[in-house]
A = this chain, B = another copy of it.
Amino acid sequence: MIQGSRPTPPFAPDGRGDKIVPRPRSAKVAMIGAGQLARMTHQAAVDLDIDLVVLAESTGDSAVGAGAAYRLGSSSCLADVRAVAEGADVVTFDHELVPNAHLVKLEQLGHHLRPAPPALSLAQDKLRARTVLSASGFPVPAFAAVSSREDVSAFAEACGWPIVLKSSSGGYDGRGVHVVESSSQVAQLFDLRSGGTTRWLAEEFVDIAAELAILVARTVSGHVALYPAVQTVQQDGICRYLLMPASLAAPVIERASRMARSIADGIDATGVLAVEMFLDTGGQLLVNELALRPHNSGHATIEACETSQFHQHLRAVLDWPLGAPTMRSAAATVNLIGGTSAISPSTQLLRALEVRNAHIHLYGKGFRPGRKLGHVTALAASTEEALDIAQTAAAEFTEP
């Protein structure tokens, strides 16, 4: 073994003077939206030298702060969406808030939308998702489209008060989801015909024993990778923390995984699909919602799995070989939710960094109460231990 090369003239170019050949980037992906999912997708895109460009509403958007290439515009404006899609190999999504008609138009113009509009519509329209899933034989909570107080009362008579009233689109993190106790409350609080734009969905109130999410990545060619089940724990409709793997009986997890895989194939999903489910107190699994993009429930995959959901989403939408979804360690993720005052990184972050083995991800977002500002993941021998670490670090961000 030698520690140097054999002699060459010391002032010869040594290879350094050779001309550099610019490299082609491996692919160009346009992402509609520039939130934290786009931010973390950007971090993954760097590894594979993928040229990611995001459609951002402002330069303050999370992915823009991470250095993603961006175009400013609105996801509800066709011209803006077209502009960001221009020249991209595929178009994918950080959120679902693009009018489906625009997506159909984009497809007609020759853009490759991943997921395609029919699949994405199931994340855009809860009523449609329930109808499609139910018609395909997947168990969902009892539901009905409602457009009057009488509709709600009729539905509630069949399954009993309280019921859940949801807007069919646009809601997330518990927004647009309401538990309603009586017909009079409906009259008092909801204008079910208001403006004619919001469609309402009434749903049985499920006695929930646990909530879980199954993440499936599916390529354009139909290859599938299934992540370990994640248990999600909500409070006020916002997911507070997640455990991977879910602490549920193996047969339940197998059933949920099979179901998620069937749904992915059935709806022709491309990219990451998160299937959120309830396990009711009777042991029944019910499909709640679908998200056709990287999802909050999958953040632990960054540290805990061979392939993070962000790398996987890119690979899936580009129809590249999928990575192994194998879990290396039990993990827990705690969301950092905006409290009553803004995060002060200079003090709170430093205290959180003192917590051994806590992996902190800040989204670089402005503060607003109830807003997701970051997350903390920890890996440990058990999900309980991991949760303890992640919660200890996360608590530093909620204390002054």
In the bound complex, CA of A174 to CA of B185 (Å)? 77
Number of copies: 2
Q: SS class of chain A's interface: helix, strand, loop or mixed?
A: loop
Write the nearest CB–CB distance from A200 to chain B, whole angstroms. Answer: 9
In the complex, residue of chain B having the shortest beta-carbon distance to the beta carbon of A210: B1
Write the nearest CB–CB distance from A304 to chain B, whole angstroms. Answer: 10
A39 touches B (CB below 8 Å): yes
Q: Does the CB pair A10–B167 fall under 8 Å?
A: yes
Q: Report the contact-size class of chain A (Cβ under 8 Å from the partner).
A: 35 or more
In the bound complex, CA of A8 to CA of B167 (Å)? 13
**In the complex, which of the residues B1, B9, B167, B321 contacts A208, with contact meaning CB atoms closer than 8 Å?**
B1
**Please, what's the 1-or-0 string for A1-43, where 1 marks a CB less than 8 Å from any CB in chain B?**
1111111111100111011111111110000000000010011
Write the nearest CB–CB distance from A66 to chain B, whole angstroms. Answer: 4
Q: Does the CB pair A315–B353 fall under 8 Å?
A: yes
A255 touches B (CB below 8 Å): no
A157 touches B (CB below 8 Å): no
In the complex, residue of chain B having the shortest beta-carbon distance to the beta carbon of A306: B357
A248 touches B (CB below 8 Å): no
In the complex, residue of chain B having the shortest beta-carbon distance to the beta carbon of A26: B345
Write the nearest CB–CB distance from A379 to chain B, whole angstroms. Answer: 7
Q: Does the CB pair A20–B174 fall under 8 Å?
A: no
- The 7 A-B pairs at the shortest CB distance, nearest first, are namely A67-B67, A4-B177, A26-B345, A20-B366, A49-B362, A21-B367, A15-B370
